[in-house]
């Protein structure tokens, strides 16, 4: 989170109104709900994990064992099983 000086971006009358409630402290102004993004959307990490998980399922379906996948992706066997289950849409 980057702090900005209110005097450089807000109108003077708005600053005076805010000063009635808080002065000299940090104030967090949250993002409007419609502007919020899900975790990993900005960095692309979410997409990368989705691609990795699809690759894990494809590898499993082609005969690679859970143990081998866990070692290859540096995950626990339990995590690999969970990913496979989720990628199949929760069906076994």
DSSP character string of 45-73: HHHHHHHHHHHHHHHHHTT--HHHHHHHH
Asked whether 69 and 60 are in contact (CB, 8 A), the reply is yes
Its pTM surpasses 0.75: no
pLDDT at 4 over 90: no
pLDDT in tens, 33-71: 777 777 777 788 888 999 999 999 999 999 999 999 999
The CA distance from 28 to 57, in Å, is 42
pLDDT of the residue at 32: 83
**Taking Cα atoms as reference points, which of 86, 33, 35 lies closest to residue 60?**
86
The CA distance from 44 to 51, in Å, is 11
pLDDT of the residue at 92: 54
pLDDT of the residue at 3: 84
pLDDT at 72 over 90: yes
On average, the pLDDT of the chain sits at 90
Structure tokens at 24: 């000299």
């Amino acid at each position: 989170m980057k702090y900005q000086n209110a005097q450089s971006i807000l109108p003077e009358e708005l600053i005076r109104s805010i000063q009635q409630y808080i002065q000299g402290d940090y104030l967090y102004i949250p993002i409007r709900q419609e502007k919020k993004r899900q975790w990993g959307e900005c960095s692309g990490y979410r997409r990368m994990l989705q691609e990795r998980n699809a690759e894990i399922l494809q590898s499993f379906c082609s005969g690679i064992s859970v143990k081998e996948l866990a070692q290859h992706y540096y995950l626990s066997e339990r995590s690999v099983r969970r990913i496979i289950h989720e990628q199949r849409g929760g069906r076994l």
